[in-house]
């Protein structure tokens, strides 16, 4: 079991060594993180705006009466 853990850590260590040798290897990963954050923010803004627009619509914005 511990051999697999040590093998995993050696793999991570070797990958960091490769990144320090060639910086172009890490760029696609960094770009995908930034684009993911960007599109998440855009989607969140779109959802927020659609919810506020639905509240202002006279047909869909009416509150239902609570019945007990």
Residue 6 vs residues 2, 19, 27, 47, 51: alpha-carbon distances, Å: 6, 20, 27, 45, 50
What pLDDT does 44 receive?
96
pLDDT score for 68 = 62
0.85 cut: is pTM over it? no
Per-residue pLDDT of the chain (68 residues; tens, 9 = 90+): 778 899 999 999 998 898 888 888 889 999 999 999 999 999 999 999 988 887 776 665 555 566 66
**In this structure, what is the dihedral angle of CA atoms 10, 11, 13, 16, given to the nearest 10 degrees?**
170
Residue 67, pLDDT score:
63
Question: Residue 22's pLDDT is what?
Answer: 87
């Amino acid at each position: 079991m511990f051999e697999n853990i040590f093998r995993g850590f050696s793999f991570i260590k070797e990958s960091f060594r490769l990144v320090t040798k060639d910086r172009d290897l890490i760029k696609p990963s960094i770009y995908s993180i930034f684009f993911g954050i960007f599109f998440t923010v855009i989607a969140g803004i779109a959802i927020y705006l659609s919810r506020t627009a639905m509240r202002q619509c006279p047909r869909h914005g009416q509150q239902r009466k609570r019945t007990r």
